[in-house]
Chain A
Amino acid sequence: LAKTTQPISMDSYEGQEVNITCSHNNIATNDYITWYQQFPSQGPRFIIQGYKTKVTNEVASLFIPADRKSSTLSLPRVSLSDTAVYYCLVGLLYNFNKFYFGSGTKLNVKP
């Protein structure tokens, strides 16, 4: 079971780019990396998923180095509404019993 390590919390200001790094030293060859966002009193929401190099969508970018032992979620120009908990998950697609949410990173965006 590939567990992940993330910072417990991070602070940022509106308009800044935020990078949250996740360590997953025991990632397996076929594992994918997925990030979720959770607002208070809501269920987690999918942000982005990738296997290697770089993935970008309308919300964020995901950077994965060649050794895949870590990954970085990049949020461009954050706003107050990006204040949330961000979870990094590592696991084999379709084998959800292997996914582990961990404690996540609490991002606090200040005005």
Chain B
Amino acid sequence: DARVTQTPRHKVTEMGQEVTMRCQPILGHNTVFWYRQTMMQGLELLAYFRNRAPLDDSGMPKDRFSAEMPDATLATLKIQPSEPRDSAVYFCASGLPQGEVETQYFGPGTRLLVL
């Protein structure tokens, strides 16, 4: 059963530190998404890639967040410097268009706490 994997699952850090979250999409999927979920804002799309190229990152604070796909098996989301307001669960998802159906497969998330 193919799944999206994310590391680390939990991260506690201090304000000002760099945070790197990693995602391994399902093999063969050509679309990768980064979401952030908080109680106040719900699920927010931060960025997404197709065939490793960034298509949209308008939901991402540009001054401190960056997302990359060094290769087809790895996507990264970095926060530098981190702030307490970045505390949230960060989800990665991957997808593959199949005819008229397009679904996203979500990973288990990285729970980030910035002190």
Residue numbers of A with Cβ under 8 A of B are 32, 34, 36, 41-46, 49, 51, 87, 93-94, 96-97, 99, 101-104
User: Which range contains the number of B residues in contact with the other chain?
Assistant: 20 to 34
A101 lies within 8 A of B43 (CB): yes
Q: Which of B102, B103, B106 has the most CB of A within 10 A?
A: B102
Contact pick for A101, options B42, B55, B107, CB 8 Å:
B42
- A residues within 8 A CB of B45? 96-97, 99
B101 lies within 8 A of A49 (CB): yes
How far is the CB of A47 from the nearest CB of chain B, in Å? 9
CB neighbors of A among B73-112 (8 A): 91, 93, 95, 97, 100-109
Bound CA–CA A52/B92 (angstroms): 29
A-B contact pairs, 20 of them (CB 8 A): A32-B100, A32-B102, A41-B109, A43-B108, A43-B109, A44-B104, A44-B106, A46-B103, A49-B101, A49-B102, A87-B43, A94-B102, A96-B31, A96-B45, A96-B95, A96-B104, A97-B48, A97-B59, A101-B42, A101-B44
B104 lies within 8 A of A46 (CB): yes
How far is the CB of A51 from the nearest CB of chain B, in Å? 7
- 4 additional contacts (CB under 8 A) given A34-B103, A49-B102: A43-B93, A44-B93, A94-B97, A96-B104
How far is the CB of A87 from the nearest CB of chain B, in Å? 8
How far is the CB of B28 from the nearest CB of chain A, in Å? 16
B106 lies within 8 A of A45 (CB): yes
